[in-house]
Amino acid sequence: MESKKVGMLDEVRAVQEVHVSYEAANKLKSAFSNLRISDDNEWLNIREWLGNIVKFSLEEDVLQSIQSFKSDNARSALIIRGLPVDNNLCATPYNGYIPPSKIPLASAIHIGIYQLAGIEPVSYQSENNGFLFRHVVPALNAQNEKSSHGSTFTFGHHVDNPDLPLACERITDRSGCPEFLSLMALRSDLKVKSNFILLDDLIGYLSHGVVNELCQPNFCINRPDSFSQSRSSRLPILVIDQNGLMLCRYDKENTTPLTESAAAALVMLEAQLQNESLKHYMVYQPGDLLVIKNQRLLHSREGFKSRSDGSDRWLIRMFGMSTLKRMVPATPKFQHIGKD
């Protein structure tokens, strides 16, 4: 079987791709290009208005796909193509940050789409300095890291923030693992391929014994390097929620088996992650926005050589939750920034 190519996925119900028309893109550009809002909290304070502008700009089929995504258990990924991007973009921010006021169009569209989907934008106290938007760029001092700011090496399949409680696990003093993750492309590199594997497809290639072993708390899950504080937890890789859906916290770079049987199961899992028939490939183009259910899909990015000339690949990432009840606020003032 050939690898699944995103762009020809009408028959794959778990992944949906929609296209924004030229007219709709122009409406969004006209509405949002001149916004000048300084910080994350101000953006969140106007998210209802942002959502309404997006709602009245998009075609009905695109709107329906966004609004139904959260509750549709059969879908794990939504690809929105043709969104407008800001004019006169600055150089790719290799230091990893620019204020959202510098890219008002992308910031407004991103938050507006979350509002339409019923997803709460969230961030974490010790990850990305608590900012909503993470700029996925080849940072000049991190090119050899296996992270979103690295570039030279392949960034293995993973679920983001895997040491935090999954959606069916109890919240105590730490916020939950993000349920949603989105990536919007501002600047592309057509030589760089990303891919993702749907969890249900992956499980279908594993034996019952392997799945059962992956459900045991016999794995050390390290906190990703994007966090300023290190942490290790003994946890299962797979968990079944109250609806019978499998959830996952695997992270290639941060998972270590603690028993012989766990090691054997991990070998079988990682062998299937190399199975080309399971992979959905995507090459981002400016204006593409991918929204995924973080715990129901594993994503990866191939290594590439950064040009370091200001024109490198630039994506914007944001996390989301179904409800802020899954967040333990770092401060009463900022309910969307969670303790971790």
Whether the predicted pLDDT of 53 surpasses 50: yes
pLDDT band at 148 (very low <50, low <70, confident <90, very high): low
Instruction: Provide the pLDDT confidence category of residue 139 given band limits of 50, 70 and 90.
Output: confident
Answer with the residue of higher pLDDT: 222 or 36. 222
- The rounded mean pLDDT for the chain is 91
* Residues of the chain above pLDDT 70, percent: 92
Confidence of residue 1 (pLDDT cuts 50, 70, 90): very low
Q: What distances in angstroms separate CA 304 from CA 45, 284, 312, one per listed residue?
A: 38, 14, 10
Instruction: Give me the mean pLDDT over the 300-326 stretch.
Output: 92
Model confidence at 11, in pLDDT bands (50, 70, 90)? very low
Instruction: Please give the average per-residue pLDDT across 211-238, as a whole number.
Output: 93
- Measured from the Cβ of residue 332, the count of other Cβ atoms closer than 10 Å reads 6
What is the per-residue pLDDT for 189? 93
Q: What is the pLDDT of residue 4?
A: 55
**Domain range list for the chain:** 4-198+282-338
Taking only the tens place, the pLDDT of each residue in 56-82 is 999 999 999 999 999 999 999 999 999
Is the predicted pLDDT of residue 112 greater than 70, yes or no? Answer: yes
Average the pLDDT over 143-153 and give the result: 50
Q: In the numeric block, which tokens belong to residue 65? A: 């796909």
Q: Would you place residue 38 in the very low, low, confident or very high pLDDT band (cuts 50, 70, 90)?
A: confident
pLDDT of residue 301: 87
144, pLDDT greater than 50:
no
Q: What is the pLDDT of residue 96?
A: 86
Backbone angles phi, psi at 30, to 5 degrees: -65, -35
Give the CATH class of 4-198+282-338: alpha beta
Listed residue (158, 134, 147) closest to 300, CA to CA: 158
* Contact in structure between 340 and 126 (CB atoms under 8 Å): yes
Cβ-based neighbours of 73, under 8 Å, separated by 6 or more: 243, 245
Query: In the prediction, which pLDDT does 182 show?
Result: 98
Residue 153: predicted pLDDT: 64
Residue type, 208: H
The per-residue pLDDT for range 250-270, each reduced to its tens digit, is: 999 999 999 999 999 999 999
Where does 108-267 show beta strands of DSSP type E? 120-124, 134-136, 155-158, 180-187, 194-198, 219-222, 232-235, 238-240, 246-248, 255-257
pLDDT of 115 strictly over 90? yes
* Cβ atoms of residues 186 and 313 within 8 Å: no
- Cβ-Cβ contacts under 8 Å for 175 (sequence gap 6 or more): 122, 124, 164, 326, 327, 328, 338, 339, 340
Structure tokens at 133: 């938007």
Average pLDDT over every residue of 75-93: 96
